[in-house]
Amino acid sequence: MNTLLSGVAVLGTGHAVPERVVTNADLATYMDTSDEWIQQRSGIKTRHWCRDGMREFVGPGNASLAEKALRMALNAAALAPSVVDALVYVTISPDIDIPGSALTVATQLGFRSDLAHFEVRNHCSGFLYGLAIARSLLESGQARHVAVVGVEVQSSGMLLSDAGRGTAVLFGDGAGAVILGPSSAEGRGIRQLIIESNGEFAERLGVACPSFARPIPLTPSDFDEATPNAFPRMDGSLIFKMASTAMPEMVRRVVAAEGIALTDLALIVPHQANQRILDMLGRALNAPEKVFSNIAEYGNTTGASIPLALSEAVRAGRINPGDWVAFVSFGAGFSWGAALIRW
Amino acid sequence: MHERESQQFFTNCVVVPGVAVGEGALAAPSPFVATTPSELAAEVVTKSMHRWSLVPNDIDLLISCTNTTDFNNPGLVSCLLHRIGRVGIPGLELKHLATGPIHAFAIAAGMVEAGRAERVLIVGTELLSRYFGDRVGAPCAEEPARSAQKIFRDGAGTCLVTSAKQSFTKDIPRYQVSSPRFWRGSGRTEHFGSFLPQANRFPLRLTAADLAAGRHYPHLDSQAFAADLEQMWGAADIALDRVDQRLVMAPVFGALPQGTTPTLELLAEYGYCGAAGLLRGLCGYTDAASTLGLVGVSPGPSIASVVLRRASA
């Protein structure tokens, strides 16, 4: 899968986040934490949540966020929903378990009833998997236009107590989308895409339950603070160590595969997991000013983070036609990857 | 893709069936009491590799189709890659129930045709009976959970998607994959599905009282779902009229439009075992029909089909 690619381009981007902004001070009312503690360890100042504290889920839901992001991306691409042949839906937090949210969004947006839809569950690297799926459909002639959306609503799954403070402060809700189609210029589009994984560390980052490895996938005790199997778990030091090594290495590999120099990159759009990791990435590549970051405002939005950051970068004028842009991720699985795009 | 109803051609990719496991039809309980999803998947992968005379390092993409994972996240594919000792390749997880293998065929064939992958391993794994794990031996009294409980079964199956140039021993059938494939989806979720939330939604979307009342169980309103399907076929996939045999994995009998026969209803053979269903059907199919139509029906409702043509050895 590590070969030259040309001809599949990003035609439009979009993003959406819930209106409700949750500050570090807000979280300090539920758990023993502080603005200083959170910022020092993650660089996060706020996040956008669909959840209103301990009280209720105020929305919008997963499908509504995805719909808004896709609508913005379609408008940017100047395309009607009816021309989209496939929807790649990347999330680990759909509104319902089965059938997920893709068909709901497709109906709301007015996509055709013969749309091919793909429910992808690949966490922080999910957007890169989505790009790989879209590219395969486009290159093989199965589709002419493909929409890829990464969307997460994670706030409702956070443990808002001292037992959950290691993870609850990190995650945010949001969506980012791209429309992919034929490139209009020679050499433009997705040039390189590499995804790799190592399942040895599957238990080090994620959510254990519901677990179908057990006779009963989910029980009330999974929500106890003493056995919080239904809430995120994370080996932060291991992830920091591995991500700090893997992410710069993946950027170097896609750049080398294309035969360009690191200095040719105009922008690096990484998965927004932690500002400390992004700082390490910038230092390792000797290009801190080229590492795009919006984690201070949104936190870690898992599968949504790269397309959300990309959409903001485009609208901020950070990406121009002809620029070399790299995406890079590391996350649960563990799974990691990078893509190189000639904009 | 826009003219899929009127055109039918075949790619240069072949589907090579592997090994499947699973027992029992609708009346039988699950035989997999002490098994985890990744153990079940690893078992069929290991046996399939042996059958194909391949080793895990020969695979450059693994696509796992499942709704029932060892952990809520990461998915089954991470655990499976670790169990078979394959490191460094992409592991894609699709969540589609019965249509999953068709989605995987589309991705795999695209990857192989574009030269992005040489051998794509597809694994369908389900332990669907565990949705009702706290009701073993005590059937749900309430509809529509009872209807779902009656049909949900377990199993796993595999296939390989690779170039038609790849050779295998003569006793292993190979099928060319059609393109385009057929898709239908409606976005109606109320008649078949599962509201068991991703665990991270539980505190606010489902309460302990909901759990006690059984509102977390999957549900199936068979009559309403069948009516949904009837409306969706509309301009049905005419490619299915032209095949010698059809293998159908649907939660209700008679899912295909009337007149599309002969049809092997896998529901009667295996129960509804989601993403494992069509792969079990394909792995177990021994007749010499030259063209096969695979049809999956998932909640949504979502319909997907593909035509396979027997390739010469």
In angstroms, the separation between the Cα of residue A317 and the nearest Cα of chain B is 32
Residues A220, B195: C-beta atoms closer than 8 Å: no
How far apart are the C-alpha atoms of A32 and A28, rounded to whole Å? 6
**Amino acid in the structure at residue B43:** E
In angstroms, the separation between the Cα of residue B249 and the nearest Cα of chain A is 16
Using the Cβ of A303 and the Cβ atoms of chain B, whether some distance falls under 8 Å is answered with: no
Provide the 3-class DSSP secondary structure of residue B60: coil
Using the Cβ of A207 and the Cβ atoms of chain B, whether some distance falls under 8 Å is answered with: yes
> What integer pLDDT is reported at residue B34 of this predicted model?
79
Between B73, B201, B302, which is nearest A156 by CB? B201
Mean pLDDT of the region A93-104: 89
Q: In chain A, which residues have their Cβ closer than 8 Å to the Cβ of B121?
A: none
> What integer pLDDT is reported at residue A301 of this predicted model?
98
The first and second tokens of residue B248, run together, are 């159908």
The first and second tokens of residue B23, run together, are 């027992």
Question: Which chain A residue shows the shortest CA-CA distance from B128?
Answer: A212
What does DSSP say about strands A51-52 and A46-48: parallel, antiparallel, or unpaired?
unpaired
- Helical H runs in chain A? 24-27, 35-42, 62-77, 102-109, 126-139, 165-168, 236-258, 275-284, 295-298, 305-315
Using the Cβ of B276 and the Cβ atoms of chain A, whether some distance falls under 8 Å is answered with: no
- Which residue of B60, B107, B163 is the best one to mutate when testing the A interface, meaning the one whose CB has the most A CBs within 10 A? B107
Q: In chain B, which residues have their Cβ closer than 8 Å to the Cβ of A99?
A: 96-97, 189, 193, 298-300, 302
In angstroms, the separation between the Cα of residue A202 and the nearest Cα of chain B is 6
pLDDT band of residue A61 (cuts 50, 70, 90) is: confident
Residues A210, B199: C-beta atoms closer than 8 Å: yes
B244-254 in b/e form (b: 16+ CB < 10 A) is ebbbbbbbbee
Q: Are B211 and A221 in contact (CB under 8 A)?
A: no
How far apart are the C-alpha atoms of B82 and B70, rounded to whole Å? 13
pLDDT tens column, A21-55: 999 999 999 999 999 999 999 999 999 999 877 65
Using the Cβ of B150 and the Cβ atoms of chain A, whether some distance falls under 8 Å is answered with: no
Residue B38 dihedral angles phi and psi, to the nearest 5°: -70, -30
How far apart are the C-alpha atoms of A72 and A319, rounded to whole Å? 17
Q: Are B65 and B101 in contact (CB under 8 A)?
A: yes
Residues A211, B38: C-beta atoms closer than 8 Å: no
Torsion of CA A300, A305, A311, A315, to 10 degrees: 30
> Residue A112 to residues A86, A147, A323, B141, B215: CA-CA distances in angstroms?
9, 13, 34, 39, 32
pLDDT tens column, B269-291: 999 999 999 999 999 998 888 89
Using the Cβ of B67 and the Cβ atoms of chain A, whether some distance falls under 8 Å is answered with: yes
The first and second tokens of residue A247, run together, are 């992410």
> What integer pLDDT is reported at residue B134 of this predicted model?
83
Q: What pTM did the predictor assign?
A: 0.96
- Stronger pLDDT, A322 or B241, i.e. the higher one: A322
> What integer pLDDT is reported at residue A335 of this predicted model?
96
- Which residue of B96, B112, B200 is the best one to mutate when testing the A interface, meaning the one whose CB has the most A CBs within 10 A? B200
Q: Which residues of chain B have pLDDT under 70?
A: 1-8, 24, 27-29, 180, 196-210, 234-238, 313
Using the Cβ of A175 and the Cβ atoms of chain B, whether some distance falls under 8 Å is answered with: no
How far apart are the C-alpha atoms of A209 and B132, rounded to whole Å? 15
Interface predicted TM-score (ipTM): 0.96
Mean pLDDT of the region A161-167: 93
Within 186-225 of B, beta carbons closer than 8 Å to A belong to 186-187, 189, 193-205, 208, 211, 216, 218
Spatial CA neighbour of B291 closest among B262, B265, B255: B262
> What integer pLDDT is reported at residue A220 of this predicted model?
82
> What integer pLDDT is reported at residue B202 of this predicted model?
46
> What integer pLDDT is reported at residue B4 of this predicted model?
42
CA B5-B9-B15 angle, to 5 degrees, is 110
In angstroms, the separation between the Cα of residue B11 and the nearest Cα of chain A is 9
How far apart are the C-alpha atoms of A239 and A274, rounded to whole Å? 10
Provide the 3-class DSSP secondary structure of residue B92: strand
Question: Which chain A residue shows the shortest CA-CA distance from B110?
Answer: A136
Mean pLDDT of chain A: 94
Mean pLDDT of the region A196-200: 95
pLDDT tens column, A225-275: 899 898 899 999 999 999 999 999 999 999 999 999 999 999 999 999 999
Residues A114, B205: C-beta atoms closer than 8 Å: no
Between A129, A212, A223, which is nearest B90 by CB? A129
C-alpha distance across the termini of chain B, in Å: 30
pLDDT tens column, A263-314: 999 999 999 999 999 999 999 999 999 999 999 999 999 999 999 999 999 9
pLDDT tens column, A117-160: 999 999 999 999 999 999 999 999 999 999 999 999 999 888 89
> What integer pLDDT is reported at residue A120 of this predicted model?
97
Q: In chain B, which residues have their Cβ closer than 8 Å to the Cβ of A212?
A: 36-37, 68-70, 127, 130
Residue B254 dihedral angles phi and psi, to the nearest 5°: 70, 35
Question: Which chain B residue shows the shortest CA-CA distance from A90?
Answer: B94
Question: Which chain B residue shows the shortest CA-CA distance from A1?
Answer: B116
Q: Are A306 and A150 in contact (CB under 8 A)?
A: yes
Residues of A acting as catalytic residues: 124, 271, 300
The alpha carbons of chain B give a radius of gyration, in whole angstroms, of: 19
pLDDT band of residue A2 (cuts 50, 70, 90) is: very low
Question: Which chain B residue shows the shortest CA-CA distance from A146?
Answer: B1
Between A85, A113, A209, which is nearest B185 by CB? A113
Residue A259 dihedral angles phi and psi, to the nearest 5°: 80, 25
